[in-house]
Amino acid sequence: MYNNTLIDNFIKTNNIERVFSKQNIKGYFTPFPHIVVDNILDEKYYNILKNNFPKEELFDIDSKCMGGRYRIGNEHKTFWDFLDKTPSWALFYKSLNNINFLKLLLDPYKEFINTNSLLNYDSIKYNKENAWKDYKKINHKSDKILEDPNHLSLSFDISIAGDGYKREIHHDMPQRFFNFLIYFQDADDVGGEGGELCLYNNDLSLYNTFKPKDNKAIFFLSTPQSWHSVNEMSNTKKWRKFMYGGYSASWQSYKKVGIWKDQNIIPPQFSE
C-alpha cells in the first residue's frame, strides 16, 4: 500500500534521515482506516528520544486526566521549554508538525477522504504555528485560515500513565481528523495489566487490540465510526510512556457538523 520512493523522497527533502524508518508499515481499512508501524523511528534516534523523555518532575502529578494520565501538551509553556532544551525532541516535533508527513500518511486514503469528508485531499493546507500561537496567547481566533475547512493543525502531547488510566469506548471530537500514538515503553516493562489500545467494529464488537511496544506507532482516521478504547491499567511498576498526536480542523469550521459528511459512515471492507 505504501510507496517506498514516496517515503524516501519525504525523508530526503525534509533532511531528517535519522528520524524515520520506512520498515514494517501496514495500512488497513477495517474496521476503520488505520496504519500500524513497528519500529517507526530509526533505532539510534529512537533511543535518543527515549533517553531524553521528560523526567517525572516535569509532569503535573496533581493534574491527572482519564483516571491516571499526565500530559505535557503543545499548548503549555512546559512543552516549549522542554523543546528549547532538548534538540532531539524539537526535531521530532518538527518532523510531525509538517504537511508532507501528514499527506504521506493520508495518501492511501485520499479517495476515501475526498468521497466521505468535507475536506479535499489536494486542497489540504497546514497551520504549523497554531499551537504556538495558543501558547503565546496570540489572538488568532479571527484568522481567516480558521474559517477554511481544509486547514489542519497538530495537537501533540507527551504523556505518562499509571494505575487507573483508561479510556471508555469512544470516537474523538468532531473536528479531529487523524490521530496517532507512539509508544516509548514495552507493556512487559511497565508490568501489571491493561493499557492495550482496542479497536471496535461499527456494532462495538471488539476487532483488535494493540499491546504497547517500544517504537510502535498506530495512526487512524478519526471518523464518527472510529471506535476505540484503552483497557484500564492496574498493578503497574513503572510509568507507561507514550506520545499522542491529532491533526485537527478548527473548531470554528466544524463545531456544528464535524468533518465527515455522513455521521454513520462505514469504511469499505477492503481485503487486507
Residues 6+ apart with CB under 8 A from 260: 116, 117, 118, 223, 224
Does residue 270 have a pLDDT over 50?
A: no
Ranked by mean pLDDT, the top range of 140-144, 187-191, 256-260, 264-268 is 187-191
Distance from the first to the final alpha carbon of the chain: 10
pLDDT of residue 239: 94
CB 79 within 8 A of CB 67: no
Higher per-residue confidence, 43 vs 83: 83
Higher per-residue confidence, 145 vs 205: 205
Higher per-residue confidence, 138 vs 151: 151
User: Average pLDDT over the chain, rounded to whole?
Assistant: 81
pLDDT of residue 267: 52
Does residue 10 have a pLDDT over 60?
A: no
pLDDT of residue 60: 81
Higher per-residue confidence, 105 vs 189: 189
pLDDT of residue 135: 47
Higher per-residue confidence, 139 vs 174: 174
Q: What angle do CA 198, 223, 2 make, to 5 degrees?
A: 80
pLDDT digits (tens, 9 = 90+) for 41-59: 888 888 999 999 999 999 9
Q: Which phi and psi angles does 151 have, rounded to 5°?
A: -90, 130
Q: Which phi and psi angles does 146 have, rounded to 5°?
A: -70, -15
CA-wise closest residue to 181 among 206, 144, 156, 146:
156
Higher per-residue confidence, 98 vs 234: 234
For cell 532544551, name the residue. Answer: 85
CA-wise closest residue to 243 among 185, 163, 172:
185
pLDDT of residue 23: 60
How far is 184 from 193, CA to CA, in rounded Å?
Answer: 17
Does residue 143 have a pLDDT over 60?
A: no
Instruction: Tally Cβ neighbours within 10 Å of residue 74.
Output: 21
SS percent in the chain: helix, strand, coil, step 5: 30, 25, 45
Does residue 153 have a pLDDT over 60?
A: yes
